[in-house]
Structure 1
Amino acid sequence: MTPENLLAFPPDADRAGFADVRMHRELAASLTHLSESCAEAGHPAAAPLAEAARLLKTKRVGPEAFARYYIIGTALLDGHEAGLEAEAEALLADVQTGRAPFHVSPRGGAGALDDLMNRQMGEEAANFAPVPPETATAFATRLSAGLDLLRHGLPALHAEITTIVHHVVCATAPEGATVQFDGASHYQFWGLLLLNPRFHTTRLAIAEVLAHESAHSLLFGLTIEEPLVLNPGDERFPSPLRADPRPMDGIYHATFVSARMAWAMEGLAASGLLSAEEKAEALKAAEADRANFASGLSVVDAHGILSPTGQRIIDNARHWIARQGMDAARPLS
């Protein structure tokens, strides 16, 4: 895939497939490296890690395997080898099982993912509280309606989302929390989205949040070779999209995602599939998304130190926003 296609702004099913294959290829390569290091040290984790790497040449896996790789890699770097063989065996089992079809689970009923989230996200995991199974079942019905709207209205975006995302976990903010999360994704859990069922009550809202959160995942998949931004991680900047100061990487993500949400809402508004009320709602959302993009871009332009990849991606988003704005302003002949 050419750099132009890889970093283009609009959704692309082939690019999503390429990113997914590359994530698995990189996982296999990293596991091979870890297995060789373990073998040199005479550690019994070497064999299951090597077998997992071998199977990944043809297997696709869920977010559990990716998360467990980070646990193992971090433990080896820190010299914490206790329990490492069991972790390697669990990762091999994840790979042998393979990736499940697209499904929705409740937080607290997501199997191994619940424990892996608690371990990898640390204190942040407490922001994602369990929900009853029936809540996840009801949300899965709404999610299906939103995906169906995207399948017919924006097939390229639908294909991108369903190529990258395979497991949605429903969660809410804990009781008494002052801030409710809307949705979330994590680079260590490739293929996973966390969505709050208290929001996204219509098919259009579902379509918008899927465009939002899957865009974060796409950026994760596009930045294997270099990061988006080169700013120090401890630097904070005023965020036009959140009350608290944010690192540049977070502001960059939010800016790109805002453009993607505008793309989705304007595309659905023009699809002929929405009611008059839905169309008005979509256009109102797109207007807010465009404003958020402009606000975020002002911070990125003023303070961002971008990698070549980061510069190309945000420039492509900038050009789409500007071009579509010009087309909308052009009088009808």
Structure 2
Amino acid sequence: MPDISHDFVDECFEPSTARAASADRRMHTELAASLHHLAEAVQTTDGKLSDSLGDFASNINAGRFVRPSVFRHYFQLVTSLSSGDIDATKALISKMNATPPRNAHRTITHFGHPDADQISLELISDGMRLAPISDTLAQDFGTLLEAGFDLMQNALPELYGEITAIVHEILLGGAPHGDSVEFDGASHYQFWGLLILNPKHHNTPLEIVEVLAHEASHSLLFGLTVDEPLVLNPNEDLFASPLRQDLRPMDGIYHATYVSARMCWAMETLAASGHLSVTDHETALKAAQADRDNYKKGLSVIDAHGELSATGQRILDKTRAWMNRR
């Protein structure tokens, strides 16, 4: 298995296919290690459950890549086992075993389709405002999404490789009727490999590239912070965010600042690629400038109030160095 040392994962600000693939493998090896630990913890009290946990972990170590729902079930399993609910724990490991390994290619589905309804309801249970969309809208947006991926593959191949290594399922959904603020994209640390998009807010391949660069950068940070968090500020301390109207904890400010820089990289690099029309070239540069402005706002908050971990400091130093080059 590839080593994912600090020097490797933080070696550059720009997208890296190899780094993303190693982060994905690291998430799986950490999942397997934790399941082995849980298997040892219950061995004397429930041998069957211990065997089930250990067998699943061994399958991962043997090369099985799992779907985002399995990572979610793992978090639920830890909670149920910690509370002594053995029946719930057994039900969850059964669900994990019954879930097929992830597909070699990305899967695109939508809330409103039976295959996606369960994971959609899981997200809603965590407070996400998500509503079903029609099959027709999902199909039309799927075509646009592939056009965005094609543009990225041609113009930004390393970003395409990075996203392909991390994002294996894309869930499409809308916002509930009447919501004054709607999401355009989202990711969740408990669903490694999943990206959620709202078709309403993305109408061109260029906009697809921008939102993919945005949301996949959140996922990348999740994968780079297995050993320690980005920031040490208490979650109850809230600050102004460059991307949100509401106040956010410092971890959210850090994510928004890093993501803004990566969106800037994507739009500036795409504008310089020669793959855009004159109109899209101008649109990309305007978007990049807005991203730079958001980055500066977020950075000022981090510099004033952020208490960074060693990992958070290294990643931010690389980000700052790239943004200061232009």
Q: Same fold (TM over 0.5)?
A: yes
Larger CA deviation: 75-84 vs 15-24: 75-84
Q: CA deviation at 1:123?
A: 4.9
Q: CA deviation at 1:139?
A: 1.2
Q: Separation in 1 of the partners of 2:22 and 2:268?
A: 26
TM, length-normalised to structure 2: 0.94
Match of 1:153 in 2: 155
- In structure 2, the CA distance between the partners of 1:124 and 1:156, relative to structure 1 (3 Å rule), is same
Q: Deviations over 1:148-192 (max 9, x none)?
A: 111010100000000100110001110111111010000000000
- In structure 2, the CA distance between the partners of 1:114 and 1:304, relative to structure 1 (3 Å rule), is farther
- Secondary structure (helix, strand or coil) at the match of 1:64 reads helix
Larger CA deviation: 241-250 vs 37-46: 37-46
**How many corresponding residue pairs?**
320
Q: Deviations over 1:103-138 (max 9, x none)?
A: 211113263x5334534652513x011111222211
Q: Does 1:3 align with 2:27?
A: no
Q: CA deviation at 1:52?
A: 0.8
Q: Separation in 1 of the partners of 2:114 and 2:73?
A: 15
Q: Does 1:104 align with 2:111?
A: no
Whether the aligned pair in 2 keeps the contact of 1:34 and 1:49 (CA below 8 Å) is: yes
- The structure 1 residue matched to 2:227, chosen from 220, 225, 228, is 225
Q: CA deviation at 1:43?
A: 6.0
Q: Separation in 1 of the partners of 2:287 and 2:315?
A: 23
Q: Separation in 2 of the partners of 1:168 and 1:317?
A: 27
Q: Separation in 2 of the partners of 1:110 and 1:239?
A: 36
- In structure 2, the CA distance between the partners of 1:120 and 1:74, relative to structure 1 (3 Å rule), is farther
Counterpart of 1:305 in structure 2: which amino acid?
E
- Secondary structure (helix, strand or coil) at the match of 1:193 reads strand
Q: CA deviation at 1:234?
A: 1.4
Alignment of 1:38-77 (within 5 A): 38-42=42-46, 44-57=48-61, 58-77=63-82
Q: CA deviation at 1:12?
A: 0.5
Q: Deviations over 1:245-299 (max 9, x none)?
A: 1011001000000000000000100000000000000000000000000000000
Q: Separation in 1 of the partners of 2:266 and 2:122?
A: 34
Match of 2:40 in 1: 36
Match of 1:311 in 2: 313
Q: CA deviation at 1:196?
A: 0.3
Q: Separation in 2 of the partners of 1:171 and 1:246?
A: 24
Identity of aligned residues (%): 49
Question: Segments of 4+ in structure 1 off by > 4 A?
Answer: none
- In structure 2, the CA distance between the partners of 1:119 and 1:148, relative to structure 1 (3 Å rule), is closer
Q: Separation in 2 of the partners of 1:265 and 1:160?
A: 16
Q: Separation in 2 of the partners of 1:180 and 1:84?
A: 35
Q: CA deviation at 1:47?
A: 2.4
Alignment of 1:39-188 (within 5 A): 39-42=43-46, 44-57=48-61, 58-94=63-99, 97-100=100-103, 101-109=105-113, 111=115, 114-119=117-122, 122-125=125-128, 127-188=129-190
TM, length-normalised to structure 1: 0.93
- Secondary structure (helix, strand or coil) at the match of 1:169 reads strand
Q: Separation in 1 of the partners of 2:241 and 2:254?
A: 10
- The structure 2 residue matched to 1:295, chosen from 280, 294, 297, is 297
Match of 1:269 in 2: 271
Please give the root-mean-square deviation of Cα atoms over the aligned residues, in Å. Answer: 1.5
Q: Separation in 2 of the partners of 1:210 and 1:266?
A: 15
Q: Separation in 2 of the partners of 1:102 and 1:110?
A: 18
Q: CA deviation at 1:241?
A: 2.3
Q: Separation in 2 of the partners of 1:282 and 1:120?
A: 32
Q: Separation in 2 of the partners of 1:214 and 1:121?
A: 20
Q: CA deviation at 1:67?
A: 0.7
- In structure 2, the CA distance between the partners of 1:123 and 1:162, relative to structure 1 (3 Å rule), is closer
- Secondary structure (helix, strand or coil) at the match of 2:248 reads coil
Q: Separation in 1 of the partners of 2:28 and 2:130?
A: 27
Unaligned runs of 5+ in 2: none
Unaligned runs of 5+ in 1: 326-333
Q: CA deviation at 1:321?
A: 0.5
Counterpart of 1:139 in structure 2: which amino acid?
F
- In structure 2, the CA distance between the partners of 1:45 and 1:121, relative to structure 1 (3 Å rule), is farther
- Secondary structure (helix, strand or coil) at the match of 1:168 reads strand
Whether the aligned pair in 2 keeps the contact of 1:259 and 1:293 (CA below 8 Å) is: yes
Q: Separation in 1 of the partners of 2:284 and 2:98?
A: 44
Alignment of 1:187-206 (within 5 A): 187-206=189-208
